[in-house]
Amino acid sequence: MVWLVIVPSVLFLLAGSALAYVFGAAAVLSFIAVDKIQFLAILPQRIFSQLDVFALMAVVIIFCHLVAKLVASATGRLPDQD
């Protein structure tokens, strides 16, 4: 049953997938391989409880920065601030 986790993980890594996706898929496949599918309901709760508020704020700030850079490069100037 271990090969159900190892083989897809190696194939995903060789295909160039990100490590976070490979580890997430390996976790899900390992729950399925050991027939503990009922514990998969805990995963979203654990993921969202471990998120840091700073990381969420940083994503929004980076997005706003990239939008401002895109507008500045498309128009040749920064947008007016009223």
User: What are the domain boundaries of the chain?
Assistant: 1-38, 51-82
Q: How confident is the model at residue 70 (pLDDT cuts 50, 70, 90)?
A: confident
Q: Quick check: 68 pLDDT over 80?
A: yes
The confidence score (pLDDT) of residue 52 equals 67
pTM confidence score: 0.45
Tell me the Ramachandran region of residue 53: left when phi exceeds 0, alpha when psi lies from -120 to 50, beta otherwise.
alpha
The confidence score (pLDDT) of residue 1 equals 67
The confidence score (pLDDT) of residue 81 equals 60
With helix as H, strand as E and coil as C, how does 51-67 read? Answer: CCHHHHHHHHHHHHHHH
pLDDT tens-place string over residues 15-60:
887 887 888 888 888 888 888 888 888 877 777 777 666 777 788 8
